[in-house]
Amino acid sequence: MTICIQKKLFNLEKIISDLRENKPNVGAIVSFIGYVRDFNKDINTKKLKHMNLEHYPGMTEKTLINIELNAKSKWSLEDVFIIHRVGKLLPSDPIVAVVVASQHRKNAFEACEFIIDFLKTDAPFWKKEISDQDELWVENKLEDHQKKASWNIR
Amino acid sequence: MTICIQKKLFNLEKIISDLRENKPNVGAIVSFIGYVRDFNKDINTKKLKHMNLEHYPGMTEKTLINIELNAKSKWSLEDVFIIHRVGKLLPSDPIVAVVVASQHRKNAFEACEFIIDFLKTDAPFWKKEISDQDELWVENKLEDHQKKASWNIR
Amino acid sequence: MIRSRKMKINILFFAGIREMFGIHEKCIEIKESKTSPEKLLKFLSEKEQGPWVELLNSKDSISVAINQEISNWDDSLKDGDELAFFPPITGG
Amino acid sequence: MIRSRKMKINILFFAGIREMFGIHEKCIEIKESKTSPEKLLKFLSEKEQGPWVELLNSKDSISVAINQEISNWDDSLKDGDELAFFPPITGG
């Protein structure tokens, strides 16, 4: 189990090779990476300059550990790696990676999606979008909460 | 859309950076990597030396293109990259990668799992396991066919 | 008559709320009778005014955490607790 | 009387079936009346014996593809077709 909150860029190939070290049982790795996107041009005239990502040190790690333990209680997993960047991020920069290693792929797919769904609603990160026109804190998305809630009925 | 059938190792970081080139709309990338695993020690005394992966050139590419087009008709995707290795592979070598880029993560997760599920049952690859005791062609798994069939009822 | 003792609470502000207060952290000493985030917030908005009033008004859309765990507005506070106010989470 | 013409079929073998035949590919010329993989396989197992008999016996567990597409045993074959026999797929 590894959790990193960091300013610097990450390398997925490196994360995966660290994760697999001395784990010959790993048959499947599923990774999710989320990126900074510009505003939707169809409904927006402004242009994203950068994003500032703030978090609550201590609580972030606690929350992510809990999400991970929850995932491990639901699925048989070999290991999990969660990395989230903070600070100033530019359009198309990677923000977050969730990498799950398991013996069989179904567990890895489900656990990876579960972890990012809960991270989105429970881990104390906040994004501020600095555009060429204004500076606004991103509002939370109803669909993220619906996606999280959907895990109760699966 | 990129499909590679190759002997040599692949680098996920490189695949992703190629995939994202000039695609500022990509907000999510979901990747699956499958690895060569040794036999289950609990039920087996033999040890895997290596694997030989054979395929049907031409039909493989056709099949993978069809699976990909199918996925693109079901989900809104920015791009897909499928890579499958052939020839001699050692334990814990990566065999296959499916990388899916989309605007939103749900599409990427579902399409990535769909593609690998159909690849497993429809793409003409065959694995031979060379152990310290024998050489055997791998038999197909019922669970792979069940997993593929489950897409009809989702 | 038992005299109510004082307790120290370390308050943290994040994102838009941090900007509203202009500070990230504030340590306060209060009587033990203000033993929930809600009571404390009401007390401070009456006593100190300013952003506390604004915070109280937007109470329904903000989250509160005690010792780094999401809490309810009527949960108990005790001496030495870390209390955090923040807007909805938008990570990932 | 119409004399049945000949047609060329290129047959490919994969995995265990390739090993059984000891070759990867075999080009044959047959009469147009053997116009399905099933008819062709029966004809060859009678005429050439050897691995063809074995292939016919394990017909239920093997797949057949015509021009690189999974096909049925009673689909039609035409001159110049590529016909492939292979065991269940086990990639990924």
Q: Among A124-128, B23-27, D23-27, which stretch is predicted with the lowest mean pLDDT? A: B23-27
Buried b (16+ CB within 10 A) or exposed e, A126-151: bbbbebeeeeebbebeeebeebbeee
Smallest CA–CA distance, residue A87 to chain C, in Å, is: 12
Name beta bridge partners: A85: A6
D60 to chain B, any CB pair closer than 8 A? The answer is no
First to last CA, chain B: 25
Chain B residues 86-145 with a CB less than 8 Å from chain A? 91-92, 103, 105-106, 108-109, 112-113, 116
How large is the average pLDDT for residues D1-20?
88
Smallest CA–CA distance, residue A63 to chain C, in Å, is: 8
| Chain mean pLDDT for chain C | 93
> Residue C3 has what pLDDT?
61
- State pLDDT tens for residues C56-76: 999 999 999 999 999 999 999
Give the CATH class of A2-149.
alpha beta
C20 to chain A, any CB pair closer than 8 A? The answer is no
Answer whether residue A13 shows pLDDT above 60: yes
Cα distance between residue A144 and residue A146, in whole Å:
5
Instruction: Among B27, B32, B147, select the one facing A34 at the smallest CB separation.
Output: B27
Answer whether residue D37 shows pLDDT above 70: yes
C11 to chain A, any CB pair closer than 8 A? The answer is no
Chain B residue with minimum CA distance to D67: B59
- State pLDDT tens for residues A25-68: 999 999 999 999 888 777 788 999 999 999 999 999 999 999 99
Smallest CA–CA distance, residue B36 to chain A, in Å, is: 7
How large is the average pLDDT for residues C36-52?
94
- State pLDDT tens for residues B83-130: 999 999 999 999 999 999 999 999 999 999 999 999 999 999 999 999
Record: contact A84-C68, CB cut-off 8 A: no
Chain B residue with minimum CA distance to D12: B56
Q: Among A40-44, B6-10, B31-35, which stretch is predicted with the lowest mean pLDDT? A: A40-44
Record: contact C90-A137, CB cut-off 8 A: yes
C65 to chain A, any CB pair closer than 8 A? The answer is yes
Answer whether residue D85 shows pLDDT above 90: yes
Chain B residues 31-90 with a CB less than 8 Å from chain A? 31-35, 37-38
Answer whether residue B80 shows pLDDT above 90: yes
Instruction: Among B33, B92, B106, select the one facing A147 at the smallest CB separation.
Output: B106
D58 to chain B, any CB pair closer than 8 A? The answer is no
Burial of A74 (0-12, 13-18, 19+ CB in 10 A): middle
How large is the average pLDDT for residues A13-17?
95
Instruction: Among A56, A125, A138, select the one facing C84 at the smallest CB separation.
Output: A56
Q: Which residues of C touch A116 (CB under 8 A)?
A: 92
A23 to chain C, any CB pair closer than 8 A? The answer is no
Q: What is the ipTM of this complex?
A: 0.92
CB-based contacts of C44, cutoff 8 Å, min separation 6: C28, C52
Answer whether residue D50 shows pLDDT above 70: yes
Chain C residue with minimum CA distance to A135: C16
Confidence of residue B141 (pLDDT cuts 50, 70, 90): confident
| Chain mean pLDDT for chain A | 94
Chain B residues 59-78 with a CB less than 8 Å from chain D? 59, 62
- State pLDDT tens for residues A81-110: 999 999 999 999 999 999 999 999 999 999
Which partners does chain A have (≥3 C-beta pairs < 8 Å)?
A: B, C
Longest dimension (CA), chain B: 52
Instruction: Among A13, A28, A34, select the one facing B105 at the smallest CB separation.
Output: A34
> Residue C41 has what pLDDT?
95
Instruction: Among D12, D69, D90, select the one facing B126 at the smallest CB separation.
Output: D90
> Residues C81-85: contacts with CB within 8 Å, 24+ apart?
C81/C7, C81/C9, C81/C10, C82/C9, C82/C10, C82/C12, C83/C9, C83/C10, C83/C11, C83/C12, C83/C37, C83/C40, C84/A56, C84/A59, C84/C11, C84/C12, C84/C13, C84/C14, C85/C11, C85/C12, C85/C13, C85/C14, C85/C17, C85/C55
Cα distance between residue A97 and residue A3, in whole Å:
10
Answer whether residue A1 shows pLDDT above 90: no
Which one of C58, C64, C90 would you mutate to disrupt binding with A, by most A Cβ within 10 Å of its Cβ?
Answer: C90
Confidence of residue C5 (pLDDT cuts 50, 70, 90): confident
> Residue B90 has what pLDDT?
96
| Chain mean pLDDT for chain D | 93
Which one of A23, A109, A145, A147 would you mutate to disrupt binding with B, by most B Cβ within 10 Å of its Cβ?
Answer: A109
